Structure 1
Amino acid sequence: MEIDQLKNVIEAILLAAGRPMSIDKLLTMFPEQEQPERGELRDAVEALQADYETRGIALIQVGGGYRIQVRETMQPWIAQLWEEKPARYTRALLETLALIAYRQPVTRGEIEEVRGVSVSTTIIKTLLEREWVHVVGHREVPGRPAMYGTTKKFLDYFSLKSLNELPSLSELRDLNEIGKDLELDLSDIPGIELTPANDEAGVEAEEGADAPPADEVTAAAETTDSDNVATLH
C-alpha cells in the first residue's frame, strides 16, 4: 500500500475510533493480506503528524496510543460548542491525584500522612469512577490496605505519553504550601490549575457528563474563586 493511501486509512481509523489507538491496534484494522509492516505504519503516522503541523488539529501520542485532536490554540473558537459546564474538582481531590501519580503505588493512609488530613471516601470513589486511578495491589501490613496507581486513561486525559512527562519533583513534603513550595507545582500539569485556597472537603463540586478531555479544548484549567474548586476542560 502506498504511503499516501496508508495515511488516509490511518486518519480515517483514528477519526472513527474516537479513542487513542496503539500501533498494534492499528495493525489489526488491516486485512491480513494488506497488513503493512510495523515500520511502514509508524512512518505513515509520523508523516501524518507532519502534515498536521500547520493545521488546527494535531495527531499526538498519549499513554493509550495515537489520537487526532483539536489544537489548544483553537480553544477560543470552539469553546462555545459545549454548553454544559466542564467537570470541576476540589483542590483536595487534585492533590490526592497528584500524590498517587508521583508516589504510586501508595495507600490511602500514606496519602493522608503526607497531606496531614484525612482523604474522604468521595475523593477515592471519584478518582476510581473517572478511571484515573485503580487498585494495583495491597500492602502486606495489618489490614492489607489497597495501593493505588494511575491508569492509561489518566495519561490520555492529560495528554501524557508516560509518567516521565510529569514535572520533576525532588521530594514531596507539605501540600498545604503548594503556593510557596514549588516541589509540587500542579499548575505545570496539563489540564490542572489549583485555586489559592485549600478545600479539604474533597468532594467533586460539579461534573459535566460529557465534557471533552482536557486537551480537546484547552490544556489549561479555569479557576472559580467563589466555588474554591479547579475547573478542568
Structure 2
Amino acid sequence: MPRQQQPATRPVRRRSYDQFCAGARALDAVGDRWTLLIVRELLAGPRRYTDLHADLPGVSTDVLASRLRDMEQGLLVTRRKLPPPAAAVVYELTERGHGLLPVLAALAEWGAPALVERRPTDAVRAHWFALPLLRALEGAAGGAAAGGVVDVRLDEGEFHVRTGEPVAGEPVYGDGPAARADARIALDAELCLALGRGELTFAEAVKEGRIEVSGDGPLAAELRGA
C-alpha cells in the first residue's frame, strides 16, 4: 500500500535568540519587522487600528494584528476603549514602550544620511520628520527652561513636537497642529532632513532665513535667537 503522505507542518517561528545578552533580549522584543515603526506611530499618542494601518503603508492587516498582539504580550503596548461618544478601541504605549524614544531617535540620526533622494515608491507622512527635527529643536530651545509645544509646517503637511523635559502621559509629537502651541515654525522637508543629518544647526537655518518662526513667549524667542 502506498504510504500516506503526512500533511506539511509549518515551522514554529523562533521567538527568542536564547542569548543572555541585553541586546539580544531587546531584539527579542522589538526586532521583528514593523515593530519599531509601530512604536514610531504610537509615540504620537493613542491610535486606532485603522489609523495605524493607514500610516504604515505596506503592512498587511494580519501582520499588523500579529505585531500588536506580540507588543501587548511584551508589555510595550496596551489597549483601552475610549468613552462615549467615541467608543473606539485605541492602542497606546506603556511606560516601557515610551522608553524606546531614544532608541528611535538614535536610529533616525543614524539613518538620516540615507535620505538623500526620495524614491518614487517611497510613502511619506509629515509627522515622520518629527524625530530628525526633534534633536535640532532641543538644541535651539535651550533645554527644559524654554520647553513647550512647537507646530511645524512642511509642504507635506503639519505636525507638532514637544521640546524640553518629557511630560508624563503626553505624546512626544503628533500629527496636525496642536490644540495650543507655544511657537510655530515653517520650513521645507529637505532642510528638516539636513538638520537631522547635522549639516547645519537650527540657529544657522533661522539666521539664513530658511526657517520662519512665529509666536510669543520664551520658546518662540529662543527659537528666533532673540
Q: Tell whether the structures are fold-level matches, with TM greater than 0.5.
A: no
**Higher RCO, Cα 8 Å, sep 6+:** 1
What TM-score, normalized by structure 1, do the two folds share? 0.30
